[in-house]
Structure 1
Amino acid sequence: MIESFLEHVLDGGTTEVEEAVRKAAAAEIMPRFRRLADHEISEKKGPYDLVTVADRAAEEHLTRALTALLPGSVVVGEEAVHADPGLYGALRGDAPVWIVDPVDGTRQFVHGDPGFCSLVALARHGEVLASWTYAPALGELAVAVRGRGATLDGRPLRCGSPTPGAVLEVATSHPDYTTPDQKRALLGLVTEGVRPRPCGSAGLEYLSLARGTLDATAFSWELAWDHAAGLLLVAEAGGAQTTVTGEPFRITGGNTLPFTAARDAATAERIRALLAGAPAGD
């Protein structure tokens, strides 16, 4: 069952997962959008780390639906891992793993901003096989399958390359989520020809990269639910990624941070070099 389902997904059979993601959003997220009461919002680690009843309900909905699609699979979800950090270790196990961020961009969701999404990725042995990025308030669904490309609402996605000589727009980590060393690394982006800005929903920043409306990201945290779906989306759209030491980002963790994803390999190397404090090309 497991192998046949994985083959089915890799052959482009993603409709069942798309339906599960849409149903979870329709049942648990959108009815609460711009209708949250104060008691339905709480902080996890501080005022910039929010969780709502919609996050929890959508993750529970997706957990039931996705494991029913693939018996023997497990879910690594943001809210479940917050309650039991040991669940994160499933990323290193043998079972297929659904990596779920039910509401990526919870701050935006809480403030009534449509810039949030649901992120789902399917991985095994640390390799992301497929991903789904659904922005229900924007009516957009992006899908990527390893080796088969990326689409947005059924249309092929391509990152393209930045216009030569143009200023590079780079979405970066919020200062509240960076260590002093990471802040110093990110200061390398304050240079001629680069325009850094704080990121919004990580999933939607990756979608912007894949569609060629953002040039790069520079992130200083490595939680798999924020990055797994988007990194595959960018890769299948022709983009590139690297950590500051030049090694590929691993969803299982232990990465040297910050890391970057970009529209092409040359841009990724330029951002990596700036983060490392060296002129691009050194």
Structure 2
Amino acid sequence: MFQDQDVELVLQFVQQAAAAEIFPRFRRLAATDVVEKKSSIDLVTDADLLSEKHMTENLLARWPDALVVGEEACETNPALIEALREAELAFVIDPVDGTFNFQAGLPIYGTNMAVVSKGQTVAGIIHDSVLGDSLIAIKGAGARMRRADGVETAVKVAAPVDLSLMVGTISINDLGYGEKRRIAGNLAKTKMAFGYNCSAYEYWMAATGKVHFIGHHKLMPWDHLAGVLIHAEAGGITAKFDGSPYLPGETTGGILSAPDRESWEMILREIVHAE
């Protein structure tokens, strides 16, 4: 089974895959190295495929009975997502979160790795292969940033402020025109709205207190499980739009991350639901 200290080995696997398969391809992709999946903004590259394969092989060599749920593997076997609910031990991988940014040469992407046991996320990693830094959390033990040079610091979410002073985002890419327009208009109530098309980067900013809130309608596990745990261990709160906890295997309902419950309720009311 997975022990808390095993997060160090998992981090090594993530770092090795990033160094071998992701960063060497950054700003070096040929046109033939990028393939559309469902649309012109839903892409996959050799970096996604080869790094996921690299991590999967290492994880299964150490934990041969574990379930590995990679974003690219789920393209051919979506049933892997549902299996997360009951898995004794599972690893959830987004090898290159923010593939659109990656293939465009923007250094706003990351690798997400979540460890799930019996329906709960027990560890999470977000790795930045450009700088070599990582966010790491173990359930109940707080969240920390480890720089490429090994220096670690604890991370903490931003302090609550009035909505007019908040910086945040609600991802609207998967919504229809009317909903996009409504939520974009509601975001004008904040000090600044941003959109990076990268969950890894959004959770990084929220967990380190650089922004106040992030929200998403689409709930693919590789996008959110690691980040939600890191954000929670940094002192924040995340819940689905109906107030229930977000759990492995769930893909609908929308989630919102905020500094505290009062802020969460305000953002849900004034931005997500307000007409």
- TM-score, scaled to structure 2: 0.91
Cα distance in 1 for residues equivalent to 2:6 and 2:245: 28
What is the aligned partner in structure 1 of residue 149 from structure 2? none
What is the aligned partner in structure 1 of residue 113 from structure 2? 120
Identify if the C-alpha distance between structure 1 residues 194 and 243 changes in structure 2 by more than 3 Å, giving closer, same or farther. Answer: farther
CA deviations over 1:129-187 (Å, ceiling 9, x no partner): 00110001032111000000000012111113134575211122143x12467537635
Say which SS state the counterpart of residue 194 (structure 2) adopts.
Answer: strand
Cα distance in 2 for residues equivalent to 1:183 and 1:248: 25
**CA apart distance, 1:87:** 2.1
Cα distance in 2 for residues equivalent to 1:262 and 1:71: 37
**Residue pair 2:221, 2:251 contacting (<8 A) in 1 also:** no
What is the aligned partner in structure 2 of residue 199 from structure 1? 196
What is the aligned partner in structure 1 of residue 101 from structure 2? 108
What runs of 5+ residues in structure 1 fail to find an aligned partner?
A: none
**Residue pair 2:91, 2:116 contacting (<8 A) in 1 also:** yes
Cα distance in 2 for residues equivalent to 1:88 and 1:185: 31
What is the aligned partner in structure 2 of residue 159 from structure 1? 157
* Aligned residue runs from structure 1 range 135-214, under 5 A: 135-153=128-146, 154-164=152-162, 167-175=165-173, 177-179=174-176, 182-183=179-180, 186-187=183-184, 189-193=186-190, 195-214=192-211
Say which SS state the counterpart of residue 58 (structure 1) adopts.
Answer: helix
What is the aligned partner in structure 2 of residue 245 from structure 1? 242
Identify if the C-alpha distance between structure 1 residues 278 and 87 changes in structure 2 by more than 3 Å, giving closer, same or farther. Answer: same
- Corresponding letter in the other structure for 1:113: L
Cα distance in 2 for residues equivalent to 1:82 and 1:26: 24
What is the aligned partner in structure 1 of residue 253 from structure 2? 256
**Residue pair 1:160, 1:264 contacting (<8 A) in 2 also:** no
**Residue pair 1:44, 1:50 contacting (<8 A) in 2 also:** yes
Cα distance in 2 for residues equivalent to 1:217 and 1:22: 26
Cα distance in 2 for residues equivalent to 1:79 and 1:192: 37
Count of residue pairs brought into register by the alignment: 270
CA deviations over 1:72-109 (Å, ceiling 9, x no partner): 10111100001222222221233311000000010111
Say which SS state the counterpart of residue 28 (structure 2) adopts.
Answer: coil
RMSD: 2.1
Matched, 1:26 2:10: no
Matched, 1:65 2:40: no
- Relative to structure 2, which stretch is displaced further, 243-252 or 28-37? 243-252
Identify if the C-alpha distance between structure 1 residues 173 and 160 changes in structure 2 by more than 3 Å, giving closer, same or farther. Answer: closer
- Corresponding letter in the other structure for 1:235: A
What is the aligned partner in structure 1 of residue 74 from structure 2? 81
Say which SS state the counterpart of residue 84 (structure 2) adopts.
Answer: helix
Cα distance in 2 for residues equivalent to 1:198 and 1:140: 22
**CA apart distance, 1:32:** 0.9
**CA apart distance, 1:266:** 2.1
Say which SS state the counterpart of residue 243 (structure 2) adopts.
Answer: coil
Cα distance in 2 for residues equivalent to 1:50 and 1:254: 20
Identify if the C-alpha distance between structure 1 residues 48 and 38 changes in structure 2 by more than 3 Å, giving closer, same or farther. Answer: same
What runs of 5+ residues in structure 2 fail to find an aligned partner?
A: 147-151
- Percent identical residues: 32
Say which SS state the counterpart of residue 159 (structure 2) adopts.
Answer: coil
**Residue pair 1:222, 1:251 contacting (<8 A) in 2 also:** no
Cα distance in 2 for residues equivalent to 1:42 and 1:276: 33
**Residue pair 1:161, 1:263 contacting (<8 A) in 2 also:** yes
- Corresponding letter in the other structure for 2:170: T
Say which SS state the counterpart of residue 50 (structure 1) adopts.
Answer: strand
